[in-house]
């Protein structure tokens, strides 16, 4: 379900800023831990560098992440897919048809609508977040630092068992 221009859109982003202390910035690049952190996650979390992935590893992430999300959720759980300052979705990983980009008809836009882009699992120039609707876990992609931040015990466990296959390097 597309959340753009709804009260829920603003609510989820307010929660991201409040609960995760999200501090967006493009003023730094790389993994320097001397720079301000983009998140202050109040529970156990891990950070992975993703800057040395091969094309086949990138493809593997796209295939395996939906499987991981299915493994750690029940069929009724929903996940927010957020593209910072762009489209936001609420979806079930058990319903792949909900994980699609599409043209959203809206007469308020020139051309009668806009393309609502469902975020990829790897950031490609913008922040992409996948957060369980009650913040039980999260997968946070940082585009300039080329990092993935993970929180939530179930997701941490799954990622810890697969991150090296993805070509990621654990840095925290």
Q: Of the candidates 106, 105, 107, 103, which has an alpha carbon nearest to the alpha carbon of residue 115?
A: 103
H/E stretch holding 64 reads: helix 55-72
Contact predicate 148/50, CB 8 Å: yes
For the stretch 20-63, pLDDT in tens is 999 887 655 555 555 678 899 999 999 999 999 999 999 999 99
120 in a structural domain: yes
110 in a structural domain: yes
Number of domains present in the structure of the chain: 1
29 in a structural domain: no
- For 41, other C-beta atoms within 10 Å of its C-beta total 19
62 in a structural domain: yes
33 in a structural domain: no
Q: Quick one: tokens of 148?
A: 């993935």
37 in a structural domain: no
Distance spanning both ends of the chain, measured CA to CA: 33
Q: Of the candidates 94, 109, 96, 93, which has an alpha carbon nearest to the alpha carbon of residue 4?
A: 109
30 in a structural domain: no
Give the range of the structural domain holding residue 110, as residue numbers without chain letter: 7-24+46-170
The region of weakest confidence among 1-5, 26-30, 46-50, 161-165 is 26-30
Name, in order, each residue with C-beta under 8 angstroms of 46's C-beta and a sequence gap of 6 or more: 149, 150, 151, 156, 159, 160, 170, 172
82 in a structural domain: yes
């Amino acid at each position: 379900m597309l959340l753009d221009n709804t009260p829920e859109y603003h609510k989820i982003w307010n929660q991201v800023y409040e609960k995760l202390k999200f501090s967006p910035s493009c003023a730094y690049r790389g993994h320097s831990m001397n720079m301000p952190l983009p998140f202050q996650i109040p529970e156990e979390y891990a950070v992975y560098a993703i800057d040395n992935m091969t094309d086949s590893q990138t493809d593997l992430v796209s295939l395996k992440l939906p499987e991981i999300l299915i493994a750690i959720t029940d069929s009724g759980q929903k996940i927010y897919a957020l593209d910072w300052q762009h489209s936001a979705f609420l979806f079930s990983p058990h319903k792949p048809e909900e994980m699609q980009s599409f043209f959203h008809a809206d007469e308020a836009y020139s051309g009668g609508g806009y393309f609502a882009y469902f975020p990829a699992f790897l950031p490609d120039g913008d922040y992409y977040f996948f957060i369980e609707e009650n913040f039980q876990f999260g997968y946070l992609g940082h585009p300039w630092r080329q990092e993935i931040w993970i929180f939530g015990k179930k997701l941490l466990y799954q990622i810890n068992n697969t991150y090296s296959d993805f070509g990621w390097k654990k840095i925290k």
